[in-house]
Amino acid sequence: MTEHLPVLQVVVPLIAAPLCALLRPGRAVWLLAMVTCALCLLIAALLLDRVLAQGVISYAMGGWPAPWGIEYRVDAANAYMLLIVAAIGAVVMAFARTVVEQRIRLPASKQPWFYATYLLCLTGLLGMIVTGDAFNVFVFLEISSLSSYVLISIGRDRRALTAAYQYLIMGTIGATFILIGIGFLYVMTGTLNMADLAARLPAVADTRTVRAAFAFLTIGISLKLALFPLHLWLPNAYAYAPSAVTAFLAATATKVAIYVLLRFFFTIFGAQFSFGTMRLDAILLPLALAGIFSASVVAIFQTNVKRMLAYSSVAQIGYMILGISLVSVTGLTAAISHLFNHALMKGTLFMALGCVSFRIGAVSLDRMAGVGRIMPWTMGAFVIGGLSLIGVPMTAGFVSKWYLILGALERGWWPVALLVLFTSLLAVVYIWRVVETAYFQPAPEGRATTGEAPLALLVPTWTLALANLYFGLDTSLNAGVARRAAEALLGVGP
Report the distance separating Cα 472 and Cα 396, nearest Å: 4
Q: By CB under 8 A, which span of 12-20, 156-164, 175-183, 218-226 interacts with other proteins?
A: 12-20
Determine, following the binding rule CB under 8 A, whether residue 269 of this chain makes contact with other proteins.
Answer: no
Closest contact distance (angstroms) between CB of 12 and other proteins is 10
Phi, psi of 350 (to 5 degrees): -70, -35
Determine, following the binding rule CB under 8 A, whether residue 494 of this chain makes contact with other proteins.
Answer: no
Binding residues for other proteins, total number by CB under 8 A: 16
Determine, following the binding rule CB under 8 A, whether residue 121 of this chain makes contact with other proteins.
Answer: no
Determine, following the binding rule CB under 8 A, whether residue 139 of this chain makes contact with other proteins.
Answer: no
Report the distance separating Cα 388 and Cα 96, nearest Å: 23
Report the distance separating Cα 346 and Cα 382, nearest Å: 10
Determine, following the binding rule CB under 8 A, whether residue 448 of this chain makes contact with other proteins.
Answer: no
> In the window 379-438, what residues touch other proteins (CB under 8 A)?
none
Report the distance separating Cα 84 and Cα 95, nearest Å: 17
> In the window 186-245, what residues touch other proteins (CB under 8 A)?
none
Closest contact distance (angstroms) between CB of 328 and other proteins is 38
Between CA 482 and CA 249, with CA 226 as vertex, the angle to 5 degrees is: 70
Which is nearer to other proteins, 146 or 355 (by Cβ)? Answer: 146
Report the distance separating Cα 442 and Cα 436, nearest Å: 11
> According to CB under 8 A, which one of 18, 190, 276, 415 is a site residue for other proteins?
18
Report the distance separating Cα 386 and Cα 375, nearest Å: 16
Determine, following the binding rule CB under 8 A, whether residue 52 of this chain makes contact with other proteins.
Answer: no
Phi, psi of 363 (to 5 degrees): -130, 25
Q: By CB under 8 A, which span of 17-25, 147-155, 269-277, 462-470 interacts with other proteins?
A: 17-25
Q: By CB under 8 A, which span of 15-23, 164-172, 173-181, 322-330 interacts with other proteins?
A: 15-23
> According to CB under 8 A, which one of 61, 161, 173, 180 is a site residue for other proteins?
61
> According to CB under 8 A, which one of 34, 46, 60, 161 is a site residue for other proteins?
60
> In the window 63-82, what residues touch other proteins (CB under 8 A)?
63
Binding footprint of other proteins on the chain (CB under 8 A): 4, 7, 11, 14-15, 17-19, 21-22, 59-63, 116
